[in-house]
Structures are given as structure tokens and as C-alpha cells.
Structure 1
Amino acid sequence: MATIKDVAKLAGVGVGTVSRYLSGNASISAESGSKVAAAMAELNYRPNSIARSLSSKKSNIIGLWVPSFSGSFHRKMLQTIERELRKRDKHIILANAEDAKTDEERIACLDYLIERDCDGILMSCPELSVFELAKIEARYPKIVFINRSLDALNEKTFYPNHYLGGRLAAQHLVELGHTKIAVVTGRMNAQDAQSRHRGFLDELASSGIEMHEELIECGGYGFKQGAEATERLLKKEQPFTALFCGNDNSAMAAISTMKKHGIEAGKDISVIGYDDIDLAEFTSPSMTSIHVPLEDISRNACHQILNLCYGEELPVQNHFEPKLSIRDSTQRLKQLK
């Protein structure tokens, strides 16, 4: 296996010149750079990543903090970010706050990444307060927030307009003639869930439709929580013809749970989800959902962390608009049984 000394000898330059070339140091001449590149190619030399990071004082590692890896939403985020980093020979370390109950426990997950010398951190943090996020950014400036809106750190936040997403969902159900509508929310201590729910209620109110409190249940974002919330709704004596769920996992759980009670989504009750994950169009019936452009959001957030950490000048877009994806799980009221 070729060494840096072998490259230097073949190129006719010093070892220090090869080292500066590998670290991206612009102080070497174009001629020397060409000789080093040619020698590396001839010897099939691959630089040692650890040695290179010591030389450049960069680990070439980006940390990713998410609340959980259990859902399709964050898996898609991870896949997109990892792909973008790999294109630029960067790597990823993961942390999640699946079992965290307090802000202190959530921040401890962030400390895990900081202690591993990540050059920068991408953080999806719907449950931490604006105050806590501002403190984190002050302590660790090379950080970018995904799925959060922070006016004071606008250039470091990448998020969809969840308020609009909620309004689009309500608008669709109203246009289909529904007035008796139930909701399974996400975790209401999270900014995205709050914005989505507020938009939904505001659109109903602007259409003159009253939302009954007894038809609102918190379902979190998991299948089990969604199923349990749907069961609670069905046990009540308040009828409804349409159901809006805070994410697609909850909506799929609702469709399955209602079917056990002899209720068919798209035939007896209209059901609409949120996020529009890949699986949504393959459920039975195919599921209407609010499409969140998660790949675009994740890609742009990744570009920004590369800009902050490595001096790149990649273009970025911070704010994104959701769209309605209409499928078979929602129907006009008069077409329901």
C-alpha cells in the first residue's frame, strides 16, 4: 500500500507539499499540485482520513440529532442528509432522544455529538423551546435546525409552513362537504404540531364550522398512539364524517382501527394524513395527505451546514410550502355511505 512518502518521491516534492495538497492548502503551486495528483493516481494512493483530519483540524463528521428514528419522517431525513454528505466525502454520527422526557435529557443527546468532535450539527427539535435553542446556538454556533421556525436565527432554520398545511387539510375536507370533523393531533408540546393544529382550526372557523373539543384527541406520532386515540374517538357519542391526523402513521393506524369496527376509510369516513410519506399511496385505500417536501428541506439544511463548516457556497432555501395530495381515503360527503 502506497504511503505519503511514496507519493512525494514519485512527484519529486517534499512530504510537506503532499500534506498541504491533501489538506486543501492553497499555498502550493499549480505545478506541484498537478504532480502530486498524478503521483496519487499512479500509485492508487488513498489518504488516511484520520491523518487528514488531524492536519486540517476537521473531523469531516456532521452530527444529526432527531427525536426518534422510529418513523418514516426522520428516516427520510437521515437518508437525504447522509446521501448529501457522502457526495462531499463527509460522514455522519447519529443521536436520538427517543426516551428523553425533559429538556435536560434532550440536550444531553446533543452533548453526545459535541463530545465526538463533530464539525457541525443538524438538529430536528420540535419540542425544545425557542429559549433553549437560542442557548444551544450561542454555545455551539455551527448548528442548523430542521423543522423549526426561529425568527432570530432565520438563516439557520429550515422548515415547512405547517400552519398552511393545517389550513389545506381543513379546506379539503370543507370542500368535500364535511362539517362533523374529528382530529388526532401530534404531540402538542411541539411547534410543528401546534402550528398545524392552529391552521386547521382557523380554516374551519373561517368556513363557519364549529370544532367540538370532544372530537380532538392527542395521538402523538406513533401507530400505537394513533390507534388508541382513534379508539377513544369511536367510543364517544359524538358522530363525525371526516378525520384529520397529525401524521401519516397516525392516519394509517386510524384506518386500520376503524376497519376493525367495520368502518371503511373513503367509504364511511374520510381520513387525511400529514407528511405524505412514500407509503401513503400504497395503503388501502390510498391515503390523502398533506405533502411536506422533506427531501428538499433536509438537502438545503445539509447545504447550509456544509457552508458553515467547510466554507462552501452552496445555494440554500429556508422556507417551504406544503401541498395537498388527494387520494382515495377522502370522498365527498354525499358519496359516503
Structure 2
Amino acid sequence: MALRNHSTIQEFTLLGLSASPRIRPLLFVLFLGIYLLTLLANLTMLLVIRTDSHLHTPMYFFLSHLSLVDICFSSVTVPKMLENLLSQRKTISVEACLTQVFFVFVTAGTEACLLSVMAYDRYAAICHPLLYGQIMSKQLYMLLVWGSWGLGFLDALINILLAMSMVFCEAQIIPHYSCEMPSLLALSCSDISRNLIALLCSTLLHGLGTFLLVFLSYARILATILNIGSTSGRSKAFSTCSSHLTAVTLYYGSGLLRHLMPNSGSAMELIFSVQYTVVTPMLNPLIYSLKNKEVKAALKRTLEKYFQYIKY
């Protein structure tokens, strides 16, 4: 019976953000605007870091990969959400749903690793400024970045291979606007013990593990800043990591609240999900550009070069 049910299920129904025909067009315009701004802001950040030699440092190398992850993270869920906001039939095939789950794991896991790596970079810069060049060598920061991507892909691969063996019952409704592993586990009528173990390990690695690294880095940073004698020195030291600390707070705060809530499709759950997967990728480049003098100066130089090119 289970095999027959599994063979007949070809798609799931995503309930989305709202069933109201009046609200859905407004939500479409809102999230289309957010998505376009996300692409524009992150692509601009990538271009500025790539073209301006002043930003060819480990910190901005990490930031360029964070922008790339944010583009991918937003693109995994938002286009399908926009399609369903204009469609009467809000469905997604099983294969497409599993693909979406895979890339959610990749992007979310990689972003968590990158944020912890960037915290370590700030620790090295503030706590060991004279040795920063030796500590954060090119070999090390390249290894940290590609290691972050590698862990994200490996974690996603393990979870999705286990998910492909799940047998789904006749219930096909996902009370969400995107596919996530907890939602799929709730629809399975087969043994999901291995899936739960894999998901728990993923949470411990990319959630608790990376957060612990961030916490330890900032604990050392805070201790170092408090030992600085002058107020201006403390202010300057803190300003070098304030943008990253804001990004960390947004990502881990909304992500933690989202995953602590049950998969019920409640309004609060959807709000935290939107913050976690849609709004945060848009805010990250704005946070780094608005609060960072080096990025603003590089953006100004890039625009001046562009207008000079257009002029001539």
C-alpha cells in the first residue's frame, strides 16, 4: 500500500503566504521588489570587491562569497514563491521539492560557515593585528572559504540521499511557501529515524557549531576591546566588526526562531521564515555598504570609473 501511495504522488501543494486573491498581488509586488533589490545589491557588492584593488583582502574575499551565497539563497525559494502567488494551482513536483531542499541545505549551511569564518577573521584582525598577515594567509582564507562550500554541499548531499528513499503518504499539503526537510518528514509514512539523525547532525554542525565559533571569537574580541585604553581606540576597533555582528544577529536570530517553531504554517512561523530566507539576503550587502567606509569609498570610485567610461 505504501509503495502504491508513493508511486501515485507526483507533486506537493504549497499553501504559500496567503490564500486571499486581494492580498496575493500585493505580496507578489513586494517580494518581487525585495528579490530584485537582493540581486542588485549583492551583484553590486561582488562587482565593487572584484574591481577595486583596495578591497582585495581576506575580509572582503569572505564578503564576496557571502554575497554570492545570498544571491543563491534567495533564488532557491523566491522565484517559486512568486510563481505560486500568481497561480491558482500552487504545486511543486516531488523532484523539484527535493531539489529545493538540497539547495536550501547548501546555501544555509554555507552561509553559517562563512559567518563563523568572518568572525574568526575579525578576531585575528583585532586581537592579533601585528600577526594578521601571517595568521590569515591566502592559503588559509582560500581553504576556509572552499571548506565552507564543501561542508554545505556534503551536508546537503547526505540529507537529500536519505530523503530520496522516503515513502510519502497521501497527504501532500505543505503549509509553507517553500520545501524544507522538516515539512517533508511530516509527510512521510516510512521510517524517518535516519533522516532525523542526519537533520540533527546538520543542526548541531551548521547551527550550534558555527554559532559557538562566532560566540568564542566575539568573546575574545570584546575582551580585547575593553582592554584598549582610549575611547577612540575602542570605538575604532568595534566599528571594524559592527557590520558583521549585525549580519550575524539577523541570520542566527531569525533562523533560530524559525527552527524552534513547529511546522504548522502559522503567521509567526512564516514571518520568521521570510526574514530568514528572503529579507536577510537583501539586508546583508546594505549593512556592509552603509556601515563600512571602505566599501562606500570603493563604490564611489567604481561609479566614477563607470561614468567616465560612459562619458568617453
Query: Which TM-score band applies after superposition, normalised by the shorter structure?
Result: under 0.3
Tell me: higher relative CO, structure 1 or 2? Use CA pairs within 8 A at least 6 residues apart: 2
Higher alpha-carbon Rg: 1
TM-score, normalising length: structure 2: 0.20
Q: Counting strand residues as a fraction of each chain, which structure ranks higher?
A: 1
TM-score, normalising length: structure 1: 0.19
